Amino acid sequence: MHMHNPYESRPAADNKDAEVTVYRAETDYLKAAPEYKHLSQEKNGAVQVAVNIRRELKKAFPGVKFSVTTRSCDCVNIKWTDGVTEERVKAITDKYRDSYFDSMQDLAVSCRSRFNEIYGGVGYVFTKREYSGRLKEKANVIFMQKYGHAFTGEEKTPEMLKRGELWKEGHYFHRNGFAVQTEINKILYQTE
């Protein structure tokens, strides 16, 4: 007769206890982390996310005015003019996404983190940086310094950019080729 060892299933229980202990320690650390002390831990969905994003952006980029709004219970929109690049803003805001849409499976996939459990998460965080005339002029100057040699006697003005005339521009550079407007947009995207 085989006697059942009461300790045979114990390692699995020990592993579960260890996971719970680690989870609690990581959660406690995030709740008390000095870099997040200014953020809300209230559980109120997209509103909490918008409040926290606004606080983080204000702290990280004090001279830039951001508009942070909720569009639905699962979406936050962020807009600003000039200032910091979209890439730097996304470095802060991406951690607030708690899901993404997988078009191959036609469903939303959770990527929720401990950060989201404490400071909030939404499925969609949209960023939109707008450009003032002053920044467009600066991009035009950079463009002409870089590629002006290819436009002997031609000047690309911010007014042409505003009117969308440079999309139609037939000039291409280098062997790979690129449109004037495309290159100016790259400059705008990277310029602060």
Predicted confidence at residue 20, as pLDDT, reads 81
Q: Cα–Cα distance between 130 and 180 in angstroms, integer? A: 19
- Number of C-beta neighbours around residue 125 at 10 A: 24
173 CB-near residues (< 8 Å, 6+ apart): 147, 150, 183
Which token pair is 56?
């983080």
Backbone phi and psi for residue 71, each to the nearest 5 degrees, phi listed first: -105, -25
Predicted confidence at residue 174, as pLDDT, reads 45
* Residues of the chain predicted below pLDDT 70: 1-14, 149-179
Predicted confidence at residue 38, as pLDDT, reads 95
Predicted confidence at residue 55, as pLDDT, reads 97
pTM of the entire predicted model: 0.74
Q: Cα–Cα distance between 57 and 77 in angstroms, integer? A: 13
62-94 residue pLDDT tens: 999 999 999 888 999 999 999 999 999 999 999
